[in-house]
């Protein structure tokens, strides 16, 4: 995870990243991922963490113990001995998913993410 605190450093890093693209390249799909809150074509889903926990556990067929960890993401007792922050849903979800990593690595491109989004959620 990249953690940059100074605004100037963030802008410099973003500028170097964007300079890797050619002038003919369409940056719109990339910008949709960087700032999703200003994308008029993607409405907010207004899904609470508890509902997300149910969706992830059902979609991934998580074992009962992991499902309980997601549903009780605020419970420090359930998160004990795991590398996560109780109360932070994304941290708990990451720790659950990290244990399920597969040996095969797939490279995702912006186009694959956009393509998957269009057919999964529309």
pLDDT digits (tens, 9 = 90+) for 23-33: 667 777 777 77
79 Cβ contact list (under 8 Å, min separation 6): 69, 73, 85, 86, 92, 95
Give the separation between CA 45 and CA 42, rounded to whole angstroms: 9
In the structure, what pLDDT confidence band is assigned to residue 86 with cuts at 50, 70 and 90? confident
| Residue 110 near residue 25, CB atoms below 8 Å | no
Contacts of 85 (CB under 8 A, 6+ apart): 79, 91, 92
Q: CA-CA distances (angstroms) from residue 18 to 7, 39, 47, 67, 86?
A: 16, 19, 32, 39, 35
Q: Which segment of 5-19, 20-34, 83-97 scores lowest on mean pLDDT?
A: 20-34
Q: Which residues of 38-64 are buried (b: 16+ CB within 10 A; e: fewer)?
A: eeeeeeeeeeebeebbeebbeeeebee
Provide the terminal-to-terminal Cα distance of the chain, rounded to the nearest Å.
Answer: 30
- pLDDT tens per residue across span 60-81: 888 999 999 889 988 888 888 8
pTM, entire model: 0.51
Q: What is the mean pLDDT of the chain?
A: 77
Question: Distance between CA atoms of 121 and 7, rounded to whole angstroms?
Answer: 34
């Amino acid at each position: 995870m990249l953690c940059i605190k100074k605004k100037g450093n963030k802008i410099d890093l973003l500028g170097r990243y964007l300079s890797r693209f050619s002038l003919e390249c369409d940056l719109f799909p990339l910008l949709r991922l960087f700032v999703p809150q200003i994308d008029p074509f993607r409405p907010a889903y207004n899904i609470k963490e508890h509902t997300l926990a149910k969706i992830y556990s059902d979609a991934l067929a998580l074992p009962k113990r992991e499902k309980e960890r997601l549903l009780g993401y605020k419970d420090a007792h359930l998160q004990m001995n795991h590398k996560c922050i109780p109360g932070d849903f994304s941290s708990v979800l990451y720790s659950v998913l990290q244990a399920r990593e597969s040996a095969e690595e797939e490279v995702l491109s912006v186009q694959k993410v956009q393509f998957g989004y269009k057919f999964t959620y529309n």
